[in-house]
Amino acid sequence: MIGKVPSVWRRTKIAACVGALLLAAAVDVRAADSETREFTVRVDNKPAGNAKMIIQKQDDGTTVVSCETSVKVRVLIKTYSYVCQTRETWKDGRLQQLSGSCNDDGKQFQVRAEAQADGIHVRVNGREHLSKSEAWVSSYWMLPDAKQREGVIPVIDADNGRDMQGRLQFIGQAQIGVAGHMQNVMHFRFNGPTKIELYYDATQRLVRQEWVEDGHPTVLELVRITK
C-alpha cells in the first residue's frame, strides 16, 4: 500500500535489538567478558537509525544481552519512529529471562518472559501465554544450537512477545565488509513469516541482517566492536 509505514524493525532487535541497557544491579563482570556491538540501520538504502548490543558473560555461566534500537523513517508525509530496549538472559543455550519496552510508532509493548519447567512464560502488556523452552529470540544475536538448526525453530519476537517459527537454511560462505574490514562469514536464511538473511562471523557473532517488508529493503550492519 502506498504510504504504508514499514513495521520491519519489530523483528530486528535486531537483530534487531540493539545500545545496551546496563542495569545498576547487574552482576559485576570482568572487562574481558563484555563486548559492545554497534550497528547502523538502513531502509531503502538510506540511513534510518542505529542499534547497540552489549553481551556480558558472567561467572555463573549466564550471558546477558542488552539491546537498544532507535529508528526514524520518513514515508511520504509521515515520519515513522521506533524505539526499543530489551534484555535477554541465556544459559546453556536456552533463554532464561527476557524483558523489553518498545514504542512502535505509538504502539507500546511491555514484554516479560521467564523460563519455567513447562516452557517460557511470556507476558505482554499484562496478558500471558506459553512459549516453547527451546525458543530462539528475534535479536538473532547468536546462532541457535546446531541440533536445532535442522528442524522448525520457534522464535519469540523480543519487541512484542509474539510467537513465530521458521527454518534456518545455510546458504554458504560469503565475503562482506565487517566493521571496515573484509571477512569470510557464514550466510544463513531464516524462512519464517519474513525471509531474513543473517550473516555470522567465525565466532558466530551476528554481523549483518537483511530483509524486506512492505517493499522496503532494510539492512542492519555491524560497524564497531569494543571490549
pLDDT interval class at 1 (50, 70, 90): very low
Higher per-residue confidence, 13 vs 70:
70
Percent of the chain with pLDDT over 90: 75
What pLDDT is stored for residue 166 in this prediction? 96
Tell which wins on pLDDT, 145 or 96.
96
pLDDT classification of 41: cutoffs 50, 70, 90: very high
Per-residue pLDDT at 215: 83
- Give, in order, the Cα–Cα distances in Å from 169 to each of 63, 95, 157, 193, 224: 25, 22, 19, 14, 27
> Would you say 199 and 15 are in contact if contact means Cβ atoms under 8 Å apart?
no
pLDDT band for 46, please (50, 70, 90 cuts).
very high
Whole-angstrom distance, CA of residue 83 vs CA of residue 76: 21
CA 140 to CA 155: how far, in whole Å? 9
Give the start-to-end residue ranges of the domains of the chain: 8-226
Residue 197 pLDDT exceeds 60: yes
Q: How confident is the model at residue 216 (pLDDT cuts 50, 70, 90)?
A: confident
For residue 79, give the C-alpha cell: 515520519
Closest by alpha carbon to 21, among 42, 60, 51?
Answer: 51
pLDDT score of 4: 37
Query: Quick one: 187 exposed, middle or buried, by C-beta within 10 A (0-12, 13-18, 19+)?
Result: middle
Contacts within 8 Å (CB) and 24+ apart, 129-137 = 129/161, 129/163, 131/156, 131/163, 133/94, 134/94, 135/95, 135/163, 137/13, 137/88, 137/95, 137/98
If you write DSSP's letter for every residue of 93-147 in order, what string do you get?
Answer: TEEEEEEEEEEETTEEEEEEEEEETTEEEEEETTEEEEE-TT-EETT--BPPPGG
pLDDT at 167 over 70: yes
Looking at domain 8-226, does it have CATH number 3.30.450? Answer: no
- Minimum mean pLDDT range among 8-17, 36-45, 58-67, 110-119: 8-17
Give the mean model confidence (pLDDT) for residues 190-214.
94
Which contacts qualify for 128-136: CB closer than 8 Å, 24 or more apart? Answer: 129/161, 129/163, 131/156, 131/163, 133/94, 134/94, 135/95, 135/163
User: Rounded to an integer, what distance in angstroms lies between the CA atom of residue 27 and that of residue 161?
Assistant: 25
